[in-house]
Each structure stands twice: as C-alpha cells, then as structure tokens.
Structure 1
C-alpha cells in the first residue's frame, strides 16, 4: 500500500506566482539541478500460478532475512542517528507478526513477491490507524517491502541517482536506508513530496547537515535537470531561479560555511552566560561521537541495546557498552535516557498487551510498572559503568532521565530508584503537558528536566506527528507550545535546577535563542547543528534572548512568532 497523499492546505500548497512550499526540515540553502529517485519496483501485471506454496513461503521469508542483514551491515558502517534508524528498520524486517502474515498468504497460494507486497500493505494500514510513532513507521515499512520485492523479482535494489554532478535529490518519499547513504559532496539538498517534521528522513537529513524541504506540494512535477533553489530554513523551493536568487543563495551558503568553520568551543551568550551545547546520540562509534566539538551528550538513546533480541541484554553487556561511551566523554556530561519502549516500540521480551492507541499507552517509564527489572538492571549497569570508567580516571559526569513521566509522584519514584542504584543525578523528560504544568513540583523531586519538544508538540496540539496535512500545528514555534516551555523554564530558574531541550527544536538556531530566553540552560541536537546554534547564540546577550522570547510568546501563530523574532534578532545572526 502506498502512503496516502497529504491533504492540501494553504501552509504547504504551491503558489502559482511563487516558490513551492513545504516543511522546513533541514537548515541551509543550495542551488543545483534536480535528480529524481527512481520509482520503486512494481509487481508484474499478471500474477503467476503457484505450484509449491511452501517454496514461495521460504523464498519470501528468505528475502526479508536478506533485507534485514543488509540493513544491519549498513548500520554497522555508520553511527549515531543513522545507526539507530537502520537497526530499527532491520528489526521491522524480522517482525514475527509481519512474517506470519506473509507465510499465511504464501501458503494460501500467493506468489512470494505478492505475499510480501500484500502483507506489508495490510501492516501499513494498521500502523497508520494506530497513529503516533507507529504511523511514522509506515513509510519505513514501504522501504522494506520494496527491497524484499526487488530481491524476489531479481530487480535492482532501490537506490540513489548518480547523474555525475552535484544535485538536489527529489523523491516522492525518501527511505531512511537511502538517506544515510547520501554524500553531501554530491547531494546538495533534499526535496520530498511526502514526509512530516519528525520523520526519519528529516532527522537523518539534519544529522548530515543537508538543507531539506519535505511535504512539498508540487515536488512531483519537478523534472530531472531543472535548476532549483532550496531554502531549508524557509521551507521553499524556487524553480528556475533568476540570477539574483542564485547569487543570493550561493553567497549565503558560502558565508554559512565560513562562519560555521570559525564557530567552536563552549556555548555562551554574548555576555558570557553559559549554555551547554550537547549531542543527541544513539548507537555508534563512541570515540567518533566523543570527537565532536560538544560539551557532552544531552540525550543518549539506549534502545539500540534492546532491539532485535529475544532476551534483554544482561547487566554485564550494558555495563560494557556504557563504559566505552563514558570514557570517550571523560570530563563531559552524558545524559542517559532510560529505555523508551512499550506498545509504540514493542520488544519481544517486554509485552505490554493490546492497546487501541499506543501513543497514549504503556511506554517509557510506564513500562517499568509491568517489567520493573528492565529498569533496575539498566540503572545498575549505568552505575557500574560510571564507577568502572572513574576507576581509570576517565569518566563522564553521568546523569539519567526517564521518558514519559507525567506526575510528580512518578518523578520521585524514578529519582529514588536511580539514587538507590548509586547514580547521583536523576531527572525526567517533559513530553506531556501534565509534566510541564506541574514542572515546579517535578523539579522538587529531581535534579533536572529535559524537554522533548517533538512529543510535547503532538500532545499539546492534539495533532498526530504523522499527518503531513497539519504541519503548522506541529511547528515548534507554536506560541502555545512556547508558553509551556516558559512555564518549565521559570520553574527551573526559581528552584535553581537545570532545564534542557533535546527535541528537534533545539537545532533551529533562531529558535534556540528563544529557548534560552524561556529558561533553557542546555540545548541538545545532532552534531551538524552545533556550529550554527553556537554562532547565533553568541550574537545575543541573555537579556536579548529574553526579549526575543517575549516577542515569540506574544505572537498569535508560529509564522508571526518566527517573523517578529527574525526582525528583532541581531543582524549578524541572520547572515547564516
């Protein structure tokens, strides 16, 4: 089943007298010719008659195994976000329920390729109906389907174009497995017809530092070789731009390259107020991650240790992985998010039961109610790793935080568990409005909080993160979302507790300044975003950050908030 086309809306529709418009997904700008992704492999018009259903079942499952193995191989060659995404895809290719459905179709007389295509389509419908995180994975499942069908039909695997010159990659949608293979020396920007602000494609594009516009109405009409100017900050695509636009975009790109090359060191406002600039990190080479010019890790995703397993990792296995990372970040902070799993990210060894809406169900810290040993073992391993690294004189400053905490009682319960395990700094994530509204009470129970803006936006606006038709509601510049962030920031300032932001919002340089004005003391993001955030922050005093935040809070909509802040920002900050 193909992913449904987004409903047209004024915010993202094409303007016949202006540029194409979509969702601003990756900062920066570029001008280059279009190169389109090839269409996915199609089934032949005539479905063949099956003589040996068992052989068809075996072939279908073998194709899924081959796809999973290929994704695992690619995951081993990359780090951070890319490795985590590919590992998740490999896990989807091995999903027992998907394989069961394929087997039933094959045994019922469907050829292997048709069984895979049909079962994946049915599974996509279930994911889209579930909403939330699961619906976001529907596009990922389409990639698995296309790869398995290509294997079964002996067709070329879906892949990237290679026109022999730098280009803007245009696609209906872009699979994560292809996104991680992008070479920024060849691909200057990404434009997709589908995609939302928190899709895997967007996250990976930002991790590569590529300008990107997704959910772009009209992208399907862009032809190979046509020159386009892509503005990943404004979310626009100008077709056949005139010489003035080309010169402006190219000049801006060169200024950005020079300015960011000179940006380094700790995060500071213009008057010297420290704002820790941290990494969002997952699976990967810990030494390579430690080499980035950051002050540590603001969000360490630990799911990679638990995925694709029949049994949970032992305390010893976890201790070894954490110890390597703590040594790589010696002298810097590492904030470990405990396992964020549940019905929206199911684990074979931690069932949570059937749920009508997994996004509102048992996930994150709530999972520990059903499987308490998962959390206690993880906290034991983190503490042991910190002590092992410290014994060598090379440990990070380790903090832990629990995801999906809603009440002060939950915050206090987690803090007690962490401290009982020997971990001195315990915090929680603010991802639901209930936690933001009682932030002062949460902060009396824990040492810090970190705001996950992606989930907080979804739950605040009542808008599914997967709906391309509602991108404006998920815009992190939404004043209602900013008011919740301000409430958390004020609570942190009153109680003298750190408040971090680790959602995608922190990677927007201008919004980062607003977040600091709202009370954020640290910002966590993908590594390519660090230099731009560091540069823009250094051009504003802390008082100016507060003034810009007040302007954003007073706006009625995200477009107005973005406009008034840009107009009032320091001119040097706009040179990017």
Structure 2
C-alpha cells in the first residue's frame, strides 16, 4: 500500500457500520449519460425498435435474477425486487409509446419514461420515493444494453479497495463482495437506508451522507482510512494509523451464546433474520435465539397471498434452526416501505401514517389469520419456542385484539412492537394484555422526530441516540415492569455496542441485531456492570442532544477505543 507524502486530512460523514479499515480508493464509474433527444430515421421499423426495448429490459431482468440467485438474504430480496422493476410494464410500455407516438430513439424513450415513473414514485413519499433510485438503476442498465455501453456497477479490481460513490443502488449493494470491497463511502444516504442496513449485515465499515464536497476530494488510488463507527475518513493516513487498522482487522472475536453484563446479569443477544438461510447463519454465529423474524420476506414480490402451506414451509425453515430457543416472529409488516400489491394501497397520501402493518387487519383480517394458523402449524412441527408479535400496535384495544387472536390459534406467547409513541406512553395499559414487547427503534425514531427515516437530508435526526427516543424507551420499560413483562429492542440501535449498554440500563432485557454485530456487542456488554449501564442510561437521557448523549456515553466506555469501535 503506497503512502502519500501529503499530511493526513480528516473528512467526515455519517458512520453507519462500525469498523476501521484502510485501503485504496476506487470510484464508481460515472452513470450512463443522458441520451440525446434524437428521432428514429423514417426508414426504420417502429415495431422493431419497440421490440428492442422489451428485449433490453428482459436482458437486464435476467442478469439481475442471475445475480440474485448468487446472493443471500436481504441482498437476494433486493435484487429480485429490482429485477421485477426491469420488466415493469409501466416502464417498458411508456417507453414504447414514446417510440410510436414521438419517434424517439429507444434509449431516449426509456430515459424519459423512467423520469416520469420516478417523479410519480417521488410524489408518493416514503418507501415509494426510495424506489426512485431503483428506477434510475434499471434505466441505466436498459440504456446500456440499447447503446452497447459498459454496464454500470461496482469496479472489478484484483486487490481489495474502498468503494466511493455518490450513492449505491440496492442492486449494487447486494453484490458487494467483502473480500474485495472492504468499506464504502457515499455522498448521499442515511443511517437507515437500504445500503446502510446491508453494510451492517455484511459487517462492512461504511460512511454515508458525506456530501459531494467530501467525495470529490477522493480519487482513484488514494489511500484512506475509514472509521465506520465515528464517521471519519482520513486521507493520507500515517504509518501508525495504518498499523492500528491492520492490527484491529486481524483480531477475530466470537460470541459464545452467553450474553451478560460484567456482573452476570443476563442480556439475551438475539439475531434479526428474514429466511431459513439467515437463521442458520445466525445460529452458527452463536445467537441465543431470534429477536426478529421478518416474515414479510416470504411475501415480497408475490402478486397474491402465499398459501398457508407455503408459509408453513418458510416458517419451519427458520424455527428449525433454533430448537429449544426463542424465536420472536413479527407478523406481516406490510405498507409504507414494504408495499404488497394484494394487501396495501400504494396511492395513500401518507403511507407511513396509513393502513400498514397490523392495521391492514382492519380491511383484510384473513391475511393475519392465515399467518397465525401457519405459524401455529410450524411451531408444532419444530422444537422452537415461538413468540409472536404484531407491528404498529397503537392502543390497548389493538393489543388485546391481537393477543386474543394469536392465543386462539394456540400461540401462547403474544406481544407487540413498540414503534408508535402512543404505545410507549401507554405501555402500562398495553401490558395488561401483551406478554412482551420489542422496540423497533427505526420507526419509533421516525415518528418521535417527525423525520422520514429514508430521507438523507434528515439523517442527523434519524438516530436512536435522540434523548426523546431514549426517554420513550424508558417509559415503555417502566410500564412493563409492574406486570413482569420483558421488553426487547430489535431496531438498528441494538447493534450499536455503546447504545446497547444504554438500552440495558433503561430496562431492556434483550437485544436483536444482525448476527455479525453479536461479538462486538457482547464484548462491550461484558465490560460493564448493570449498575454502570444504568448510569450510562441516565447520562444519555439527561443529555440535550443526540450527539451529546453519544459523546457522554462513549467517554465512559474506553473499551470502545481498544476494540476499534
């Protein structure tokens, strides 16, 4: 690794996936340039030009599907979703109409049709607005085929590198090879974007939201040090910094399935999973169980509701990986950022506040009932201990209705997600019915701070370090305590080792995260007593800002520096 004679320069962004690595920069190739506004020659057959658009879309779709078959977990899901968009008749038909009606060349027609589709999705807000990045990705790929240009995507280099880009489409992020791409930096994005979530799942240090002024200073071949915990990029790092990064990278920490504080208070360290493969990987990583089984991954991209038999098969695969252990199953969290054509209304003016998650049972109760029936059958076929919970519970009436319904199917342990402020504020009443709760910090933060968690320009608000969020989590735990009910956390906050100590101090009994985060959280948890966790929690909730809270807690945890966290 060749060093520059220049002095080290510190640049900053939003650290979204911890770790400290150094390497050369490789920038994403510029996107496909906008095709010229050109017309088809009068001698050309318009039908054949339209056929070229359809053929190019199918080529892109098949390429993405092939990549999806080689990917795993969330990466596979994202690639499959993008593949479906490549063959979306809304895009191809609109482009073909422009060819026939305006005689636009196919590449220009696709470009303009994609622009119209992206504008429509952006106007819907929330998850649909996030899909505009997918539209641009598919557009560029189709235009590349039509113009015989290089396919956009991640550079292919023989040596490991740090990827620098304006942003990464989900299809690109899903294909990141941690053996080659050892970290990434983007000028856009936020802590709860798809790219950030996948970076954490891959255990890959990542910094997002740097702004163009930072990314523009990083050139191919530059040696940089990426601190994904602090969100700091060091350009031209010195020898000492490089030695430390190399030494930290050589350490291998494992989790032995014995989560606890220094003084022996058990803290269940669980895994978030979406399918059987993810569950098996989590079990191999030592997870003490599953704190969040995202069942919607069994439903995504399905035009119709899966049969009960298909659901039983999918659920059984996850449960079988954890015999004798707890598996917390979240019922279908459809709507907003996860629309399903057979269940949700994508035209809602404000889908994040609309008929989503448990609320869909108001309109289509059969979908929930079929899911509960399938879960009961899957539990009977395995030795796992199923805990079932509903997302977006807002009132005591909803808590009672759901838990009664779950128990009517023989599911003995029934609870709720705490994602809506009202659920935290009224926790003492809701726990008269719910056996347990799990805090979804991503959505809770979004609703507390009134900041769309997918909007990079508000990324500074989208952190569970916000004292207002932490105070609500404490209120939820305080409401559960008189009833003897456990409260867990399954949002992204659980994977932050420093924040994990605060959550335990607030009264949280279990933490569920990507399996790769288990060793780090365990190591920090074992360095502090429960009383020290309580003191850290007091420091955090008494702080005026999220940054003050984070700084105050980290200052009391010297082990973070030792571990490179």
TM-score, length-scaled by structure 1: 0.90
Superposed CA RMSD = 2.2
Alignment of 1:376-525 (within 5 A): 376-389=369-382, 395-525=383-513
> What is the 5 A alignment of 1:120-139?
120-139=114-133
Say whether the 8 Å CA contact 1:60–1:115 is kept in structure 2: no
Matches within 5 A, 1:219-234: 219-234=215-230
Q: Does 1:530 align with 2:518?
A: yes
- Give the counterpart of 1:150 among 144, 154, 158: 144
Q: How far does residue 252 in structure 1 lie from its aligned partner after superposition?
A: 3.7
Pairs within 5 Å for 1:56-95: 56-95=49-88
Counterpart CA distance in 2 for 1:106 and 1:335 is: 52
Residue matched to 2:242? 246
Equivalent residues in 2 for 1:70-469 (5 A)? Answer: 70-108=63-101, 109-217=103-211, 218-254=214-250, 257-258=251-252, 260-261=253-254, 263-283=255-275, 285=277, 286-342=279-335, 344-352=337-345, 354-389=347-382, 395-469=383-457
Counterpart CA distance in 2 for 1:506 and 1:170 is 27
Where structure 2 has 5 or more consecutive residues not aligned to the other structure, the ranges are: 1-6
Task: Please give the secondary structure, in 1, of the residue aligned with 2:22.
Answer: strand
**Structure 1: gaps spanning 5 or more residues:** 1-15, 390-394
Q: From the superposition, tell whether residues 233 and 292 of structure 1 become closer, same or farther in structure 2 (CA, over 3 Å).
A: same
1:20 aligns with 2:11: yes
Q: Distance in 2 between matches of 1:326 and 1:277?
A: 17
C-alpha distance 137-571 of structure 1, shift in aligned 2 (>3 A)? same
Distance 1:111 1:405, change over 3 A: farther
Distance 1:247 1:358, change over 3 A: same
Change (3 A) 1:54 1:487: farther
Q: Is the 8 A contact 1:166 1:187 kept in 2?
A: yes
8 A contact 2:75–2:175 mirrored in 1: no
Cα distance, 1:96 vs structure 2: 5.0
Whether the 8 Å contact between 1:461 and 1:474 is mirrored in structure 2 is yes
Cα distance in 1 for residues equivalent to 2:425 and 2:13:
32
Q: Note closer, same or farther for the CA distance 1:509–1:461 as it changes in structure 2 (3 Å cut).
A: same
Question: Partners of 1:294 and 1:80 in 2: how far apart?
Answer: 17
Change (3 A) 1:228 1:353: closer
Find the aligned partners of 1:160 and 1:284 in 2 and give their Cα distance: 28
Cα gap change, 1:483 to 1:95, in 2 (>3 Å): farther
2:291/2:328 contact within 8 Å kept = yes
Deviation at residue 376 of structure 1 after TM alignment = 0.7
Scaled by the length of structure 2, what TM-score is found? 0.92
CA distance in 2, matches of 1:454, 1:158: 31
Secondary structure of 2:381 counterpart: helix
1:33: how far off? 1.0
Give the Cα–Cα distance (whole angstroms) in 2 for the partners of residues 327 and 369 of structure 1. 32
The count of residues paired between Structure 1 and Structure 2 equals 552
Cα distance between partner residues in 2 of 1:520 and 1:320 = 32
Contact 2:111 / 2:143 at 8 angstroms: preserved in 1? yes
Residue by residue, what CA displacement relative to the aligned partner does 1:142-181 show, whole Å, maximum 9, x if unpaired?
Answer: 2222222222222232232133222111111112222222
TM-aligned CA deviation for residue 86 of structure 1: 2.4
Q: 1:62, 1:350 → 2: CA distance?
A: 31
Mean Cα deviation higher: 275-284 or 362-371: 275-284
CA distance in 1, matches of 2:158, 2:238: 24
1:465-496 Cα distance to aligned partner (Å, 9 max, x none): 23222221112211111111111122222321
Cα distance, 1:440 vs structure 2: 1.7
Question: 1:512, CA displacement in angstroms?
Answer: 0.8
CA contact (8 A) 2:331 2:389 kept: yes
Q: Deviations over 1:421-473 (max 9, x none)?
A: 11111111111111111122222211111111111111111112232222211
Checking the alignment, whether the CA contact within 8 Å between 1:22 and 1:235 is kept in structure 2 is yes
In the alignment, is the contact (CA less than 8 A) between 2:36 and 2:108 conserved in 1?
no
Deviation at 1:527, TM superposition (A): 1.3
